[in-house]
Structure 1
């Protein structure tokens, strides 16, 4: 098999877990800084309370209570060290300790141990989220490879109405998976040619698989593995070299796109007819004005001729047959038909019917 692509990365051991997107996630450094600031505020408040009533405290070293003595007393009190060299002896100082300093001490300790508690809570919460995700995810789309092709495929799917929660990205690069999670997708770090990695992506319950790997041999192995785990899944794969496309179809891919060939044809068209090349680029770029989409026939369109439909019908899909718009068999349209049309729309156009 000929392949001019880059080398495939190797997944780190134990890294091929499912990463789910978090809403308003706060970084660990920011959490530590925030807790440190809260602890300092509690200490400063305690120092102020002691300093205001410093006359009610007794220092075994003699002399009156200075600001430094108040800071020292607040420190050893909040940390529960309690050397006993500085003690409250007046009724007001002792009452202040009971009503104010003791609650502040408890709050200070909660802030200190809060980081450990939050880590344990976060682990429990993450396990629950993953269990809930695994029980709910089905008929989703798995994208193998989150490079330029994978990101474009994900944007196209979400642009056509596919929820981000129904897309799972698999990539051996942790940074690529992190980027996918930031975009709202679930991510799995690992080698998609391995059964266990695809099973973590719930490939056995997936409806579609998009293979956008960097190497053609990787794409073939992923297709073979996925087809073994899920006989009914629809596989669309990308290859760099045209000569590898038949092998990928034999490996189980339902459709194969040759990236170099498609780019070359678009370049040639743009050279011969810049306007035609611009239109083709607009058709394959969702939301740019003209969109090439597949949609079902609506009730209002059933029984009409394809030329009477508001959108420009290119092909009528009837069962497994593709009928040109001017084919006599395509008229009249049936409710079970699907139309491949050119539709002028924007992403917020309510008349747009997403692919379903």
Structure 2
């Protein structure tokens, strides 16, 4: 009988110095307070606990004895007693005498003492445990992240892609940004995105972003040669991922496709075409700008057909407020100008233009003659 194999994790998690280096590169979004606000909050808690305890002691001043003299507790005495009690110094010169005062010390002063001590030692504990908490958080994130989107480069193109994904309902923590500059990763964190600091041409940096388990990769670097090297590395790590790459020069688009890019967007020439279109046909240019802006009135989306659309013609959907651009059946795209599809079937997808909540369309003003 063959011996049973021990189950091993599909993810090799680092430890020791390697884990510390990983935490230094991977930055997850957090909602931590700034240092000044954090100190002021803890100081307010400590002062509040002191004032509450002092107020209780002063209210029951007749039940406290100061060096054997019952009563006559002043505010100074109350603050003194609260301070030495909450700090566990306990000189014993002022003591509760009545049963009610002793019960208050048990059920009120003692919890306040715990709160006061937690506030005092909280900063030290936080500093000592922060590194461990970050390592655990990073390890947990790497274990859970899969089928996510990796955005490489967080300049204008990368930020626009991230905003478009977020506007489309993609969860922030399923987007990972890889960039060289710490400031870019900090901006990604402010958007709720995970980030990895480093050169995406290096395989270990892309592995930090769990690219091998990614479903989509966006290559938005500023240089075409960098985009080619990044695409080659990403394709080697994620053979089945969909890779969309931006290219400045259209002449390099074929090189990127040969490197493994699924789609290539010639950014500079596309902008040039849009600028010329806005001059030649202002209305058409404004509509194209509207389609490219996810926050405005029109958007292009790919979606599954609904139960109500099953069995009807794509032309009937046009009358329902959406314009059908293409029908996707299987792996074949049937465009509206060449489609022979008359009836929608189960499993079909549509590419449509539809209206979203946003500003209404405003025609561009004509220049005065």
Residue 253 of structure 1 deviates from its aligned partner by 0.9
More displaced 10-residue stretch of structure 1: 213-222 or 301-310: 301-310
Q: Secondary structure at the match of 1:263?
A: helix
Aligned counterparts of 2:73 and 2:339: Cα–Cα separation in 1: 102
Counterpart of 2:325? 314
| TM-score for both structures, normalised by structure 1 | 0.77
Cα distance, 1:265–1:68 mapped onto 2, change above 3 Å: same
Q: Secondary structure at the match of 2:121?
A: helix
8 A contact 2:27–2:185 mirrored in 1: no
Residue 226 of structure 1 deviates from its aligned partner by 0.6
Cα distance, 1:137–1:106 mapped onto 2, change above 3 Å: closer
Q: Which runs of 5+ in 1 are unaligned?
A: 1-11, 348-356
8 A contact 2:182–2:197 mirrored in 1: yes
More displaced 10-residue stretch of structure 1: 158-167 or 330-339: 330-339
Residue 151 of structure 1 deviates from its aligned partner by 1.9
Counterpart of 2:153? 145
Counterpart of 1:32? 39
1:1-356 alignment to 2 at 5 Å?
A: 15-19=24-28, 21-22=29-30, 25-47=32-54, 53=61, 56-58=65-67, 75-81=83-89, 87-88=93-94, 91=97, 99=106, 104-118=112-126, 126-310=134-318, 311-327=322-338, 329-346=340-357
Q: Secondary structure at the match of 1:219?
A: helix
Deviations 1:13-37 (A, max 9, x none): 9631141x34x54334322211112
Aligned counterparts of 2:152 and 2:125: Cα–Cα separation in 1: 36
Q: Which runs of 5+ in 2 are unaligned?
A: 1-20, 359-369
Aligned counterparts of 1:212 and 1:231: Cα–Cα separation in 2: 19
8 A contact 2:211–2:234 mirrored in 1: yes
Cα distance, 1:16–1:103 mapped onto 2, change above 3 Å: closer
| TM-score for both structures, normalised by structure 2 | 0.74
8 A contact 1:290–1:344 mirrored in 2: yes
Aligned counterparts of 2:294 and 2:109: Cα–Cα separation in 1: 62
8 A contact 2:22–2:208 mirrored in 1: no
8 A contact 1:17–1:188 mirrored in 2: yes
Cα distance, 1:48–1:326 mapped onto 2, change above 3 Å: closer
Cα-Cα RMSD:
3.5
Residue 223 of structure 1 deviates from its aligned partner by 0.8
8 A contact 1:145–1:213 mirrored in 2: yes
Cα distance, 1:141–1:97 mapped onto 2, change above 3 Å: closer
Q: Secondary structure at the match of 2:124?
A: helix
Aligned counterparts of 1:15 and 1:333: Cα–Cα separation in 2: 51
Aligned counterparts of 2:105 and 2:347: Cα–Cα separation in 1: 77
8 A contact 1:249–1:256 mirrored in 2: yes
Structure having greater relative contact order (Cα 8 Å, sep ≥ 6): 1
Cα distance, 1:34–1:334 mapped onto 2, change above 3 Å: same
